[in-house]
Structure 1
Amino acid sequence: MQGELVNLTNAIEAARKSGRFFCKFLTPNDAGVNGAHQDGVYLNIESWGLFFNEISIPETGIEDRLVKIHINDWQEFESRIVYYTSKKEFRITRFWSKAPFDRNEMVGALIVFVPLSKDDYKVYIFNSEEEIEGFSQTFSLSLADNYMVYREDADLVLEKTFKDKVFELVAGYTDFPETSVMAEISRRVFNEYYNKKKVQPDKDLINWIDTEYTVFRLIEQEVYKDKLIKPFGELQPLLDFASSALNRRKSRAGRSLEHHINFLFTNVGLPFDNPGKTEGNKKPDFLLPSTNYYQNPNYPEENLILLGAKTTCKDRWRQVLSEGERVPNKHLLTLQQGISENQLEEMESARLQLIVPKPYHKQYPEAYRDKIWSVSKFIDYAKEKYIFLK
């Protein structure tokens, strides 16, 4: 744990000093565990400027160069940045054979590339919830699309009409709204801006979460504008402000997923308690059909559903297992973009059914994709189970 904290602290310091970085969740193809012949981490074309500076993207042939990779407490080594125009493929190769990581355990980890100079890159890999959330929340990153190109001096570029819609819905707020209100604003912004008539649970859950990052950043800019313009004068007030801002980001992100799931279930008429209450002080995120049914010893156990909701779940999935003794088969809905085969085997042995938005299934090992449920599949499963309650 101490090592993870040091790694995270070093990464945040390096990223802030550089002011630029590229990060992404590692897929099975990135880690080379799906049996493909390609080797190396795929880079999104939007990160071109971080790896090839201002050189324009070629239309034919191959563009490549060698760079030095620096990993904490590991000898620096050379990797190759390469772009194949014929396949539109942008990768960093000669990485896994030289890096001190077990690629089989890296699926779903967050990798960060921080440019130190034109030819030198610091690389960090975060493989725990604390590290992933600590880094992403520090820089208020939305990783709904799997990757992020961060530039400290870059403005938040949005279409004017979208920005106007956000400000229309948050007009009058001089402080941050409650997390549930923030989630509701985000859904309204997305649904009204894109004229959504019908909810698509898997796609829309991702879209709402992504929109909420944008909404929060715009509100953050508005609420903090005076503090950001006026110098603090002393170090301690600055540190207090930074700590308060980060805690607020963590609080919003921690509840966001639950709020949107709550809306989805309410929208389709599912009975549930959020949170539920089982034995003692245990409070699972969602208990279906309700706490009262759970507490009724005559209600059939096979008709109870215990659902955890966790943005990331590489370690925390085990928490769900102990949250309800009457429910032997647990469910977990997560936005985690990939998990190693070993972890998926553990979940299966523990009788935990993983639920992931359908667009993220391709980021899981191929052998397990058919075993993962989509959000829509879970909703259909629960609706059929509780149709008699309507």
Structure 2
Amino acid sequence: MSAQTEFAFEQSGADADLLTRLLGKTDQVLVKKLSNNDRNWARYRIDPDTGKINRKRRMNNQAGPYIPVQERDSGFFPSLALMERDSEGDADIWEAYFYTVWPQASGVRKKTRLVHYTSKSSETHLTGLPRELFSELLPASFMVMGRTKHDNEWEYECLTLGSDSEEAVLLSDLFDLDPDFLIGIFEPAERKSAELDRIMTFAEQVIAAWLGGNIAAFAGNNATMPVTAKLAVLARKAFLEKYGLENIDPFALEAPGDALREISRKIEWDLFREYQRRERSVELVRLIMGDQPMEVKASAVIRKLIDELPAIDALMLSASQQRKSRAGYSYEHQIEAMLGDGNIPFEKQVVLVSKKRPDFILPSLAFIDSRKDGAGAGLILSAKTTLRERWKQVEREMEGRRLFLTTVDENIAASAIKDMASFGVHLVIPESLRKSKETEYEGHDNVLSFREFCEQIIKPSLSLWSSS
């Protein structure tokens, strides 16, 4: 078994436990969303003639993840010291050495260097890291470093979390990471305390309702998840109020794709998490304690917890599935609202001959399938919050029609984008992701920002669509 296979196997089932353990024992945690250069230093170039890996040439000369000045000098890392050099006149190099531990690499302990080359302005990098934990990561993955003290010296336990993993979602959840988050230093104890305060405020209300025999009514009034369409409206309303807008007409917004991303991935996600926290908390109380107040002994509660373990597992699994399904519906609802506000004609969830249901057809299936002049201007617009391999399902919806796939997913590799191009699939993404250093969208002819899609694809056809 190769080293890479071993790492992949170990990561597949244990990263959540490793992350939880790390956060439980460290005073400060640095979280960094890795840029392309932060990953590519660990990757080797492919020989264009032979197609084989050239182990003498890396993808870039960076040699390790970049650390910005603010985080470098925050006190999280040891202070840099001037490196002694034999040659006079050479630009100064500042450095610090410390040990990092990598549980995903069988707990290997590495002597790591934080180095600042003054000849390269403020450029500072971490070097001496296990290459295999970075080389296969998808775009927008994370590096997590937790600081602990050993023999009066700082040691750093480190993880890499793939952007397509459940652990990346957990990390974002724990630290309330915005979609645009790049790097930050957090104190887990402080975060835990703030979260506990927020939970206890609601817990007092739940306790009062249970003691008063009103827990069922309380659940209906205070802890019921709105249907996805209602939640989407609440999120959109919050966005409009935040920016003083009347609607989300894509032709009036400078960055309509970023607006969709903020509404669905930030505002609605925060609303959803709060509703789900309340809903699941009350459900758990009712499951263990029942609806009627009574004197309860600790032994009875423990026994009930054990007896109801399968039901508790089912409740937690349901919560996880609810999160996944919500994300897709959220993006569809916001796109539907944006098309409506832009007076763009469309049909939704029309059944094709192949029994497929594309999310949107612009302007209509009848228009696209007619043999009239200009019918080729019609298109299918499919929405996927996350892609992975799901874009291949979308390809089957084409049936000779133009297909555009819109997503807010950051973790699509360049190879997958090229595969989509070979099938005639065009990607439509938020404007901020178009040339982001954390994504691999740049340089592909089949990738458009949402604004480019509206201006270059939709607008020239609007008069024809409307008249039809």
Q: Is the 8 A contact 1:310 1:332 kept in 2?
A: yes
- SS of 1:368's partner is coil
Distance across 2 between alignment mates of 1:57 and 1:182: 49
- Aligned counterparts, 1:233-252, within 5 A: 233=302, 234-235=305-306, 236=309, 237-252=311-326
Summarize deviations over 1:10-46 as a string: whole Å, max 9, x none. Answer: 1112223333666555432222379764332245789
How far 1:373 sits from its partner (Å)? 0.8
Summarize deviations over 1:100-140 as a string: whole Å, max 9, x none. Answer: 2573x54415234263855242424426x4x3x57416864
Distance across 2 between alignment mates of 1:366 and 1:254: 21
Distance 1:269 1:91, change over 3 A: farther
Supply the AA of the counterpart residue of 1:302.
G
Q: Is the 8 A contact 2:138 2:162 kept in 1?
A: no
Distance 1:264 1:179, change over 3 A: same
Q: Is the 8 A contact 2:280 2:315 kept in 1?
A: no
What residue is the counterpart of 2:51 in the other structure?
A: none
Distance 1:29 1:186, change over 3 A: same
Q: Is the 8 A contact 1:284 1:323 kept in 2?
A: yes
Distance across 2 between alignment mates of 1:228 and 1:43: 43
Residues 1:27 and 2:35 aligned together: yes
What residue is the counterpart of 2:448 in the other structure?
A: 373
RMSD after superposition = 4.2
What residue is the counterpart of 2:292 in the other structure?
A: none
How far 1:197 sits from its partner (Å)? 5.2
What residue is the counterpart of 1:153 in the other structure?
A: 192
**Which of 148, 154, 159 does residue 123 from structure 1 map onto?**
159
Q: Greater shift after overlay, 231-240 or 373-382?
A: 231-240
How far 1:143 sits from its partner (Å)? 4.9
How far 1:155 sits from its partner (Å)? 2.8
Q: Greater shift after overlay, 241-250 or 109-118?
A: 109-118
What residue is the counterpart of 1:9 in the other structure?
A: 13
Residues 1:272 and 2:346 aligned together: yes
How far 1:264 sits from its partner (Å)? 1.5
Distance 1:28 1:290, change over 3 A: same
Structure 1 residues without counterparts, runs of 5 or longer: 158-170
Distance 1:3 1:57, change over 3 A: closer
Structure 2 residues without counterparts, runs of 5 or longer: 42-57, 82-92, 150-154, 197-219, 289-300
What residue is the counterpart of 2:52 in the other structure?
A: none
What residue is the counterpart of 1:304 in the other structure?
A: 378
**Which of 260, 270, 293 does residue 214 from structure 1 map onto?**
270
Summarize deviations over 1:251-306 as a string: whole Å, max 9, x none. Answer: 21232221221121111111222323322321122222123334546575522212
**Which of 344, 351, 356 does residue 417 from structure 2 map onto?**
344
Distance 1:28 1:2, change over 3 A: closer
Q: Is the 8 A contact 1:108 1:336 kept in 2?
A: no
- SS of 1:325's partner is coil
What residue is the counterpart of 1:326 in the other structure?
A: 400
Distance across 2 between alignment mates of 1:154 and 1:90: 33
TM-score (norm 2): 0.65
Q: Greater shift after overlay, 219-228 or 84-93?
A: 84-93
Distance across 2 between alignment mates of 1:283 and 1:185: 27
- Aligned counterparts, 1:191-230, within 5 A: 191-196=240-245, 199=248, 200=253, 201-208=256-263, 209-226=265-282
Supply the AA of the counterpart residue of 1:388.
L
Distance 1:276 1:368, change over 3 A: farther
Q: Is the 8 A contact 1:39 1:93 kept in 2?
A: yes
Supply the AA of the counterpart residue of 2:17.
E
What residue is the counterpart of 2:237 in the other structure?
A: 188
How many residues are matched? 367
Residues 1:94 and 2:149 aligned together: no
Distance 1:292 1:222, change over 3 A: same
Percent identical residues: 20
Q: Is the 8 A contact 2:414 2:441 kept in 1?
A: no
How far 1:75 sits from its partner (Å)? 6.9
How far 1:175 sits from its partner (Å)? 0.3
Residues 1:387 and 2:459 aligned together: no
What residue is the counterpart of 2:216 in the other structure?
A: none
Q: Is the 8 A contact 1:284 1:308 kept in 2?
A: yes
